[in-house]
Amino acid sequence: MIPSRDVVSPVQTYTILDIRTPDASSVNKLVKSTQGVSQQTTLSGIPSGDVAAPPSPPPSTHPSVEDAFNSADLVDTILDSLDQPQSLKSIPTFVLYDTLGLQLFDQITCLDEYYLTNAERAILQEHADDLADRVKNGSIIIELGAGSLKKTELILKAMEKKKKRVTYYALDLDQHELEKSLSSLGGQFNYVQLVGLLGTYEQGIPWLSQQYTSRGTPKVVLWLGSSIGNQSRQESATFLRRLQRTCLQPGDLCVIGFDRRNDPSVISKAYDDSQGVTRRFIMNGLDHVNVILGQTLFHQDDFDYDSRYQSHYGRHVAHYRAKKDLTLTYSRKNDNEKQQQLKNETSNSPLRIKVAKNELIHVEHSYKYNMNEIAHILNAAELDMVEQWLDPQRQYRLVVAECRPFHFERDIQGTLATLFPYDDYQNDVTMDRPEHLNCATCDTGTSSIQQAQQVEANSAGSLINITGSRHWPQAVPSLHEWEQLWTSWDIVTQTMLNHKTMLFERPIALRHPFIFYLGHIPAFLDIMLTRHQADQEVAMMENQSAPQGKTSLTEPAVYADIFERGIDPDMDDPTQCNPHSEVPEENQDWPAVESILQYQQTVRHRLRKLLLHWDAEGYNYTNDALAWMVPSRQRAARVVWLCFEHEAMHLETLLYMLVQSPNINHPAVAPPAWYYSQQQQQQQQQQQQQPMFDILSPAPLMTFNTDTTVQLGHDDEEAMDGKKTFETVEFGWDNEHPKRMVPVSPFEIQYRPVTNGEYWQFWKQQQQQQQKESTLAAWWPASWNDLSECTTTTPKIKTSFGWCDFSVAVHWPVQVSSVQADAYANAMHMRLPTEEEWTLFRNTINTAKEGAPRNIANIGFASWTPLPLNNDQVHVVGDVWEWTSSEWQAHQGFISSQLYPGYSADFFDGKHRVVLGGSWATHPRIAERPSFRNWYQAAYPYVFSGFRLCRSL
């Protein structure tokens, strides 16, 4: 910890709360000024009354922290960890952090070799104001493992500068160090209230939940110093998931420090410095064990500090290595209940623990993270990244993550591989890699997905959202997935859409007014459940079925006629249109929105009962987890799946309609960084000059030199429902069936889509070449603001948060029609890829183990806008859909859907083009399924779709 500094006036008080008591509502409280004068006071939001102060802290020179490590259970924990066979021995990491250990660690953080501290400080020096912009007035800020507060002070000063009234809680184990850190801040805050929490993570999380979760108080959790690396990736995901479920509410933020997978030599020096401070820190843990046990079990001279970085796993591991064969002898004392129970068996005989020469005793590990691993950890915890900052040396990353109203799980297979790297572990054992240690604590393969699935779904730390349930088939969206989808629908239709002013808007003339879609989604679900009697078994069980045991439409049944199907008229002749519902012509003739929303809730409850019924049956089948999903239920399961993806697709439809409306409301999520800077410019009424921007150099090309074939589609014939085992079921739309091989000639294709900047450059060139005004207007993207507003300026980009300056969006993929994409391609003497070429490119990148790094797919609302592209990564899926040159038509083996006959066939008119991939608003179940195919009319300019270029060889 840092030495005490001179306290400046005015005098500022801070409070210490001892939350280690079982009843978090009756905490011990001590209030002090920064000059060390004790006071009794009442802190808003904390129980008041006469309470006893925590015990006085030990002298700073004392080697242990007796007020933090005072439980007899610690003795059992330490002995149980040591009394293990060879390769299984460990010592709990907490023994490193007594008073001397904390002081040594503070010295470590001041070393140049320990780059993490300076890197994080550099980030906060540059971005503390940006973080403060995101913190709401009246927030609480709680820091897990607060430490010296040197870096935290930068954040608190930013809050003070921006006059944000916040209460800062510093959670730490050691009262003495906690007081020293808080007093070091001096009397510099008028808007920031300081509170110390004396306790552990395990005590702090329940306290936070009990005190603030039900109050709706905005919260920011700080987890700095790469402390997340002290746990395995699975443990970190479980901890964050628990935090998310028990303490956080929509809008709350987590600020997490992640050390990167840096050069191994840099990491090795950081954890075994040339001055030997880290070595003393680790070896001091042995002395602290002796203090806790009350007798000498270890002698430092008998052990070496074994420090190594395992680059394959991305972690540093610390062990005590025995210099010789040893016997650790502990004289038992009957001083706790457990030892009293063992009295008869042990007869107070000493505990002798054999330690072989060179045997490793695990004490600590520190995991490092790349961006994929960070995304996977947050995904498992159902948190979404809104900001990430790197230090100037690009060695460390600070991430701001948000608890949002909903979360769609993305890249589940990649997330599982990060959390349960069993294959990597087995390869290390088989290949006898040098990185493999004879230490069970380091054996990441010992924890399995099956073990994680056994954690109850309602447990706060359950990762069942990622692992899946053993008794729920992956092909069928779970109730949890449905609830997330319904929440996303409500955010878009009830927050972004103003019911008082926007219900009858038609920002796209080729679509119905917004009110239609509010009724269409529940009506479609109700129609499909009824038409195919998907929930008949529930109705019969409740004895509420109609005559002949059939279920009927939800009332008002007339909604099925009004809202069954929407429109997609021919853009050249709008009188030509697909079969659709007849809707009211006058606004006053539409049903009341309140009635539609009540209808929606009733239909949702209908489906919810079916899913709960299936879920309950699954739990009853303990021996054969999927035995309940009998073949006779496969058609009902298909209906559930089909309606899920139907709603997910219409969610995106509504969004691209809303983006075209000048009246769009912002979503209830944290805005992107550019939004704050634009707001500040407007508030300060700054003269908005045209910012300078660069346009990316031409995209690299991937070459396919030989004739080959590629697989399109998958096998999923609806007529086979009820004739398969459920393990073989893979649902898809009719245009995805059957699996087929298609030839592909040599070609090359761009690594990434075309950007706004590149398309703007093309458009300006056409203008300079004196193209007709009508042609220039036809080539102007609908995703940009009106051409008439851009006579002397660059365009602005339409987003969920309003207009975005072109300088921000210059590297975003441009969103255009297929006709506009063709115009650009022709000017570049290239073309759009075919469906089979684009699919071959996707498959090749997804299966490649080497080569250029891939982007992390921006799908499923990872971001509520597209994100910038670059030439250093291969962009495969996300941000925008991608046009192909392939015509939408029936392929060999195509069979129209029995459930939804016109889904594909109604649009085999020669005017639609195949669109592949997925946008930022596409559900991962769709965007991550390679066989999924979308389509739009070639001239349709509103969809979130871009393109990349290709050419034949």
802 three-state secondary structure: strand
What is the reported pLDDT for 28? 55
Structure-token match 């509170």, residue found: 195
The first and second tokens of residue 151, run together, are 């870096």
Q: Are 576 and 569 in contact (CB under 8 A)?
A: yes
Q: For position 311, what pLDDT does the model report? A: 92
- Average pLDDT over every residue of 905-909: 94
Question: For the chain, what's the residue count?
Answer: 953
Contact of 910 with 944, CB cutoff 8 Å:
no
Q: Around 149, how many Cα atoms within 13 Å sit in the side-chain half-sphere?
A: 26
User: Residue 658: CB partners within 8 Å, gap ≥ 6?
Assistant: 492, 496, 497, 507, 514, 664, 800
- Give the pLDDT confidence score for residue 726 in this predicted structure: 62
| Beta-bridge mates of residue 222 | 143, 255
Instruction: Name the percent of the chain lying above pLDDT 90.
Output: 68
Look at residue 448 and tell me whether its pLDDT is greater than 70. Answer: no
Query: DSSP 3-state assignment of 362?
Result: strand
Smallest CA-to-CA distance from 635 within 720, 543, 548, 538 is with: 720
pLDDT in tens, 453-472: 666 666 666 888 888 877 78
Q: Which of 94-103, 427-436, 483-492, 725-734 has the lowest mean pLDDT?
A: 427-436
Whether 56 shows a pLDDT value over 70: the answer reads no
**Tokens (6 digits) for 337:** 């209940």
Q: How confident is the model at residue 447 (pLDDT cuts 50, 70, 90)?
A: low
Q: 445 pLDDT exceeds 70?
A: no
Helix (H, G, I), strand (E, B) or coil at 308: strand
Residues 879 and 809: their CA atoms lie apart, in Å, by 12
Report which of 563, 403, 407 is spatially closest to residue 487, judged by C-alpha positions: 407
Q: Taking 80 as the threshold, does the pLDDT of residue 856 lie above it?
A: yes
Q: What's the CA gap between 665 and 679, in Å, rounded?
A: 15
Average pLDDT estimate for 280-301: 95
- Residue 308 CB: number of other CB atoms within 10 A? 19
470 versus 305: the higher-pLDDT residue is 305
Q: What is the mean pLDDT of residues 742-764?
A: 97
Residue type at position 936: Y
Q: By the 8 A CB rule, do 404 and 420 touch?
A: no
Four-residue CA torsion sign, 402, 407, 410, 415? positive
Mean pLDDT of the 870-887 span: 97
- Write down all domains in the chain, each with its CATH number in brackets: 13-61+102-263+369-436 (3.40.50.150), 73-98+266-367 (no CATH), 471-659 (1.20.120), 673-952 (3.90.1580.10)
Separation between Cα atoms, residue 658 and residue 653, nearest integer Å: 9
pLDDT at 34: 54
Instruction: Look at residue 343 and tell me whether its pLDDT is greater than 50.
Output: no
- Neighbouring-strand partners of residue 322: 303
Phi, psi of 163 (to 5 degrees): 55, 40
**Bridge partners of 352?**
329
What is the pLDDT confidence band of residue 438, given thresholds at 50, 70 and 90? confident
Query: Which residue(s) pair with 878 in the sheet?
Result: 880
Q: Given this model, what pLDDT does residue 347 score? A: 53
- Cα Dmax for the chain: 100
d(CA 774, CA 651): 33
How far apart CA 173 and CA 177 sit, in angstroms, is: 9
How confident is the model over 82-86, as a mean pLDDT? 93
Contacts of 920 (CB under 8 A, 6+ apart): 858, 859, 861, 862, 863, 864, 865, 866, 867, 878, 879, 880, 944
The helix/strand count (H/E) of the chain reads as 30, 26
pLDDT (average), residues 817-842: 98
What pLDDT sits at residue 761?
96
CA distances 2 to 59, 150, 182, Å, are 15, 8, 11
For the chain, the average pLDDT equals 87
Mean pLDDT of 616-626: 70
Q: Which two tokens stand for residue 675?
A: 């939004």
Mean pLDDT across 333-356: 67
pLDDT average, residue stretch 98-117: 92
| 3-state secondary structure string across 877-901 | CECEEEEEEEECCCCCCCCCCCCCC
Averaged pLDDT, 614-625: 73
* pLDDT (0 to 100) of residue 408: 97
Which pLDDT belongs to residue 465?
Answer: 84
Q: Among 223-232, 496-505, 850-859, 941-950, whose mean pLDDT is lowest?
A: 850-859
Decide if 836 contacts 708 (C-beta within 8 A): no
Q: What is the DSSP letter of 29?
A: E
Dihedrals phi, psi of 333, to nearest 5 degrees: -125, 130
Residue 590 or 849, more confident: 590
Sort 517 into a burial class: Cβ within 10 Å, 0-12 / 13-18 / 19+: buried
- CA 483/CA 468 separation, integer angstroms: 16
Contact 923, 724 (CB under 8 A): no
User: Which is it for strands 38-39 and 28-33: parallel, antiparallel or unpaired?
Assistant: antiparallel
pLDDT digits (tens, 9 = 90+) for 668-719: 999 999 998 888 777 666 555 666 789 999 999 999 999 999 999 999 989 9
| pLDDT classification of 57: cutoffs 50, 70, 90 | very low
pLDDT at residue 458 in the model? 60
Query: Phi and psi dihedrals of 86, rounded to 5?
Result: -60, 140
pTM across the whole model? 0.91
pLDDT at 89 over 60: yes
* Residue 605 C-alpha from the chain's centroid: 28
At residue 540, the pLDDT reads 84
Instruction: List residues bridging with 741 in a β-sheet.
Output: 711
Q: Which tokens hold the place of 491?
A: 């955010």
HSE at residue 164, side-chain half, CA atoms within 13 A, is: 25
User: Residue 195's pLDDT is what?
Assistant: 94
Q: Contact 717/909 with Cβ under 8 angstroms?
A: no
With a cut of 50, say whether residue 9 has pLDDT above it.
Answer: no
What digits encode the pLDDT tens for the residues 231-259? 999 999 999 999 999 999 999 999 999 99
pLDDT at 72 over 80: no
Q: How crowded is residue 424: how many other Cβ atoms within 10 Å of its Cβ? A: 16
**pLDDT, tens digit, for every residue of 154-182?**
999 999 999 999 999 999 888 888 898 99
Structural tokens at position 164 = 């944000």
Which residues in 27-55 are b (16+ Cβ under 10 Å) and which e?
bbbbbbbbeeeeeeeebeebeeeebeebe
Position 707 scores a pLDDT of 97
Rounded to whole angstroms, the Cα distance separating 327 from 343 reads 22
